[in-house]
Structure 1
């Protein structure tokens, strides 16, 4: 096992992430939060030193192969989840040791940021941000300093498209190593023959959608600062908000309807966005994943509307439909914004049926190649079509040559078996890690919370959604909090890289 390759490339990724801390310094200055400047500077310097040390130590390591790519992805996402906690920790302790800045900012800032003096809470917030989850340790998000509002949105924005994709765009040169790293973040479709050109095109599209989202939210009536942060986390399908009540804070239907298309945009694969913007509009319905995404959003929104109407959850049809559509799209896109209360921890708000329907949306997730998590609809399509194909094979002569249409691809029997097996393995491992998380929660928290809310909370973390049922918070015990960090890490990388890393560690330990 060439750990030198892993160490070198993880070091390069950490160097790129360190730039994010330095780029956050102007935000602190513009907002007059001068106490945050040293925290960002020290955080950036520490990350840069770690990254340079790793990259230089293993500078002569060979290019990564497929196995290395998975090890690099799993290790890098774990490392940046820890290192990204530095600004939370340092800003929290700066405010604690010198309360003067708190007098110049939002009331309650000292109490809210105090949670991040505990390193585990900062790691939780950082992992939640980089993985695009959105679960938070902030008891009152509005009371956070703008410097931390920005850091949370920034790491979620970068994490949405992928820190490895960012690294390839900035540092990598054309070659097989770049392709391996690109594919390690569960991406396979390219826009251009060159992988570096592909990732740079993705970033252009991503920035364009972000700017369009900011403009849309401002026109809909959202304050500029809120619009900037929410556009970044909406296209990243992340869900961090600058408001404790998320999008529900505004109480404006126009804003709620404006957020939906940005969440939808984050759910569609970027190569498809590229083709659509080039004028190939037919991809909206011709592309299998895009067709399934839009259809699933519509079907799920209607089904959830019916459930909420039957439960008489809300007073009128339009608010019920708006709430149902928003929450289902938010859950399935993995955006994690909220407009209503799904659960209050020990007290039920939504019924079991409505809660589990949202869980189903979180499980499937959006398209592969988007910013969302979950199983991905292409795997769901592969499992459904592959199962039907297996059943139909009973009625077909053994000598028959069979094919399976999967979107614009025609698969032969060998390809069908390979892709069906891969999708089934991911599903089994995904459910196994989900069951582990639920078991830990039941051990640590039951019978204080309803079972469906425990399932909801773990599902939200592992699908990198960020909706909560009132369980997650700074007062959560250490064991389930740590478990959610693990679930977020596993969910962002879609299981296989984590399984490869764990296997490599266990094999090395047996020697």
Structure 2
């Protein structure tokens, strides 16, 4: 046997485990397309066939990938985990677009269908659709279902299932879990960790759905809004988003739901296990996040009242808190056109999305914990100017943070800014103006949804190249940049 044949055989064996996992995950994902079929049967307003065809195409592809490799038994390594996560999010986005592309209502191009699918799975909420109020219920439900699955990460769901099928999951969990510290587990076993996360996720989703229903929405809207809010996604069944309901009570339900989605699910698990809600305040990241929300709401309220945009203080507070949370947690719901609010408020809110919510939540952005560490590192460098030889540790929650983590945060920040600048320049080259280009990249890499300028309401009118660039931006944001970029490095592929 020739040397090239031996090398090729080893490579085929190495990638066989990745192919096997992708096949299994695609088969699992295909089942989700049956849910809109049930919705179509209930409401009888069409597009059932698009999801049935999508189901069979996805199932057949997954089966074709799994069958040749079903006997491969090898534990996933770190590289395998990164490769599976990146490939799966890309492949998942393409297969999630199939029903949207096949549907007659709406009539979407492949580019638009892919954009909508990527936006759903990455919980971005940017849309290229208009006339949402007239779309079939199956299409509307598929959009929010993509949000819900992408919110916690379908990879984590797979981690709970794959060990039973003979596939290890820890490397998938490390590659998928957001935040600078990825090796901590809620329970001793990774499978139990994933199950705990999903039981909690489902329970909190049900709680949010009950909130919306009690606030006055229809059952379908309650489920849809809960899916979007807990995933901090932002897709709505109406062109006016939650402003369609024109109800402060529904806004309050959304505020509670977005707060739940923006706090680490590990923290939710800790509070549930200890039955002590004070643990939220004792956690430095959650406490900082809540303080930032209160401060931003106060600033926004004062500007709205001073400008005469709202004359009633309670109304101004609710509108301010809702929009601060919606944009700051990268959800993207709207109840009013905040882009025409006075002074610096629109840009102030958009810039807040760069911070996002807590690590381990469903939000986008860079995460609060990273900004805390950046601020502490900046303070330490200033102190070193005065005391050059001093050993000044960085602490969070009473624990010393290793320098490796601090360096990783600085690296993440620099790469994040660089990637943002490159995509901003590409969008400018397509003919979009500065405000539209800046806000479009910010809205997608932070997984917010609505931007400013020409993309304030939707992204239907931007060029095709810009849509594909923004698809990459959404994936980079959802996978927190490094997970996607690492597979592009030569070192990743060296043996």
| Alignment TM-score, normalising by the size of structure 2 | 0.90
Tell me, yes or no, if the aligned pair for 1:363 and 1:375 is still in contact at 8 Å.
Answer: yes
Pick from 383, 407, 415: which aligns with 2:397?
407
Q: Deviations over 1:177-205 (max 9, x none)?
A: 31110111134342211111111111111
Is residue 2:65 matched to residue 1:54? yes
Equivalent runs, 1:142-157 vs 2, <5 Å: 142-157=133-148
Quote the residue 1:212 is aligned against: 207
Quote the residue 1:496 is aligned against: 482
Quote the residue 2:48 is aligned against: 37
Equivalent runs, 1:220-369 vs 2, <5 Å: 220-278=215-273, 279-343=275-339, 349-351=340-342, 353-369=344-360
Paired residue secondary structure (1:171): helix
Pick from 462, 465, 479: which aligns with 2:448?
465
Pick from 5, 30, 42: which aligns with 2:17?
5
Is residue 2:423 matched to residue 1:437? yes
Distance 2:286 2:404 in 1: 23
Paired residue secondary structure (2:395): strand
1:376 Cα deviation after fit: 0.8
Distance 2:75 2:63 in 1: 18
Equivalent runs, 1:175-186 vs 2, <5 Å: 177-186=168-177
Tell me, yes or no, if the aligned pair for 1:174 and 1:195 is still in contact at 8 Å.
Answer: no
1:506 Cα deviation after fit: 10
Quote the residue 2:3 is aligned against: none
Count the aligned residue pairs.
474
Query: Structure 1 residues 191 and 174, CA, compared in 2 at 3 Å: closer, same or farther?
Result: farther
Tell me, yes or no, if the aligned pair for 1:4 and 1:61 is still in contact at 8 Å.
Answer: no
1:5 Cα deviation after fit: 3.4
Quote the residue 2:191 is aligned against: 196
Tell me, yes or no, if the aligned pair for 2:47 and 2:103 is still in contact at 8 Å.
Answer: yes
Q: RMSD across aligned C-alpha pairs, in angstroms?
A: 2.3
Distance 1:482 1:314 in 2: 39
Moved more, 78-87 or 434-443: 434-443
Distance 1:67 1:221 in 2: 48
1:40 Cα deviation after fit: 1.4
Pick from 82, 86, 94: which aligns with 1:74?
86
Pick from 85, 93, 98: which aligns with 2:97?
85
Paired residue secondary structure (2:103): helix
Distance 1:442 1:274 in 2: 44
Distance 1:408 1:44 in 2: 50
Q: Deviations over 1:111-156 (max 9, x none)?
A: xx12x2x111110110000100111111121111000111011111
1:173 Cα deviation after fit: 4.1
1:22 Cα deviation after fit: 2.3
Paired residue secondary structure (2:400): strand
Tell me, yes or no, if the aligned pair for 1:367 and 1:378 is still in contact at 8 Å.
Answer: yes
Quote the residue 1:374 is aligned against: 365
Distance 2:355 2:493 in 1: 32
Quote the residue 2:126 is aligned against: 135
1:23 Cα deviation after fit: 3.2
Tell me, yes or no, if the aligned pair for 1:335 and 1:372 is still in contact at 8 Å.
Answer: yes
